[in-house]
A and B are shown apart, each in its own frame.
Chain A
Amino acid sequence: MTRESDKQPGGYGPPGDAPRLIGQGSVWIMVAAPTIWALHFVASYTFAATWCAKAGPSLAEPRWIIAMMGVICVALIGWLALLAVRRYGGVFVIFEEITESSERARDRFIGHVSLLLCILSAVAIVFTALPGFFFSTC
């Protein structure tokens, strides 16, 4: 089976066929999921704090907005995890060491790390949003 990540580095085909930001050896996928978590974290707390300061003691509406943001972010991270598996050949558990110096091995490593970071970020988003389910007032 040939994978997209089996391609060796080099020409990307005709002009205009620029390398993808996520795929083909790019490392950006590794920071993407933690970045989504960080943005969700800052957005949730800023939003809740602003709401509590300006709108009043009820958290009924913000908790749903925070939950919706959480769902969207987890979905985005799920999509990244899918890319980590499909484009990079990332797996959850590596049973043999990746020691080979090849594009394919590097991609598998990036895919593996990205997949684990996706899981960690998704759990962190759930933990961030959790208080919203328990507290209905500021």
Chain B
Amino acid sequence: MDIIRYRKDVWGEEVILGVSWDLLWVIAVTAFLLLAAHAIFMAALAKKKAMPSAEGKRVHRHDAIDRAFHWIMAGSVLVLIFTGIAPIIGIRVSWLNIHWIAGLVLSFVCIFHTIRALFWQDFKSMLLGPADFKEPFDESIKPGKYSFEQKGMHWAMTVLVVAVIATGITLLLHIDTPWWDRPSVDDEGTLGIWFLLHGTATLGLIAFTAIHIYFALRPEKRFYTRSMVKGWISEDELKENHDTNKWKQD
């Protein structure tokens, strides 16, 4: 199994072509096994706790615009992943235009989200500090608005999405679009490195998207998913999972 694919460039010199798509299967199988193991562990071994009630007073968690951002981002990431891997796994779909348009959508919503988070939201609530790292090991410590896992997921996704966007836009500059024609490529090795980074980031994004979806669907986390749809969690869910002193309501 290869990690990196190499090809001869126009002058016969070996250059990087991109990440090996063998890794796609490695990522898929590994993610599946880990998540399955987690599911089994949770089902068989983890301490069963009563689920907090969704009834009662509702606590606002996400503004509508943020929820919209999330789902647009989720949609564009899923479209990007599907259109990106379809030709690799042999699904015939006219993917390229959808892919880069989805990429642009993702880029715009990320810019929007960044600006909004910086200036209109409690940006600090998502910051991951040293104290957060005690949280997984001490059941008595409850998080503020976002748990350690959520912050970790957020920042992992942030890094991966930024990497995918940055490399994707670089690659976008190398294809025909309504705004520009593709240029000559002087250095195929550099182009290959961009493809390598884009592919590697994509593999990471696939893995973390799978993890994200898995946890979003887990019974004990499903109320977060609901909050991302409806905007609220119940007071019981809040008290069970969060430290209200740390969660500054917007």
Please determine whether chains A and B interact with each other in the same assembly.
Answer: no
